[in-house]
Amino acid sequence: MSIPINSKNIFVIIPAYNENSVICSVVKQLERYGYTIVVIDDGSKTNLYHTLKKLPVYFLRHQINLGQGAALQTGIEFALSKNAEYIVSFDADGQHQPADIDNLIQPLLNNEADIVLGSRFIRGATHNMPAARKIFLQIARYLNYIFTGVLLSDAHNGLRAMNRNAASGIKIQENRMAHATELLSQIRKTHLRYLEVPVTIQYTPYSKEKGQKLVNSFRIFFDLILNKIFK
């Protein structure tokens, strides 16, 4: 059952780094739904403010590139300071679909979960993911399970929604891409209720080029090992 909500109480946070060519299109699509949009420019080489200044967004900027995890934490803290009821993380490269946000929010409204994670790999989901990346992500889900104790069908999907209670308890310290695994650890440690819902992911030549490189995936793996040893 769908429960109506004031869309302005849903804050969509968008970490962005050098996304000048697509960020306006992403924001304009979200704008149609009436969400409160927060863009975090993570030290882009060209300040995204000049690209976004005519659009109805909150604009935050890191003076230097700190990484997606840091940008997400900045966005979460800002949304909480503005009394957001629900917070959605949304990629800036155009592969996420604004129409999926309602499916992410409804379990929160129904009090079925504290955090809802989008999945490309469960019934009802669609994607045009390259086969090699799909194989890598299936391996990654089990590595994440080893480090976090949380087994998801899609552990590295950046499309997520959380209620205010969950957002208040999340403190991302992994600045870069290992934050996705850190988030799962915090979900388990804080006993947050979570579930996955199907989403549509449309990869474009641009998003494939911007996507996670294999060498960075190995860096994430070593970051996780170091965290396991020293934390």
Calculate the alpha carbon distances from 84 to 47, 199, 213 in Å.
Answer: 26, 23, 33
Q: How confident is the model at residue 128 (pLDDT cuts 50, 70, 90)?
A: confident
In the chain, where are the structural domains located? 7-230
Fold type of domain 7-230: Spore Coat Polysaccharide Biosynthesis Protein SpsA; Chain A (3.90.550)
Q: pLDDT tens digits for 14-70? A: 999 999 999 999 999 999 999 999 999 999 999 999 999 999 999 999 999 999 999
User: How are beta strands 126-127 and 86-89 bridged, if at all?
Assistant: unpaired
Distance separating alpha carbons of residues 81 and 151, to the nearest angstrom: 32
Q: What is the mean pLDDT of residues 179-199?
A: 93
Predicted confidence (pLDDT) at residue 180 exceeds the cutoff of 90? no
142, containing H or E segment: helix 131-148
pTM: 0.87
Distance separating alpha carbons of residues 149 and 55, to the nearest angstrom: 41
Predicted confidence (pLDDT) at residue 214 exceeds the cutoff of 50? no
Quick one: pLDDT at residue 141?
Answer: 80
Greatest mean pLDDT among 2-6, 117-121, 208-212, 222-226? 117-121
The more confident residue out of 214 and 12 is 12
Q: What ranges make up the beta strands (E) of the chain?
A: 10-16, 36-42, 58-62, 86-89, 115-119, 126-127, 160-163, 194-198, 200-201
**Residue ranges of the alpha helices (H) in 32-130?**
49-52, 68-81, 101-109
Question: Which among 86, 107, 83 has a CA at the least distance from the CA of 3?
Answer: 107
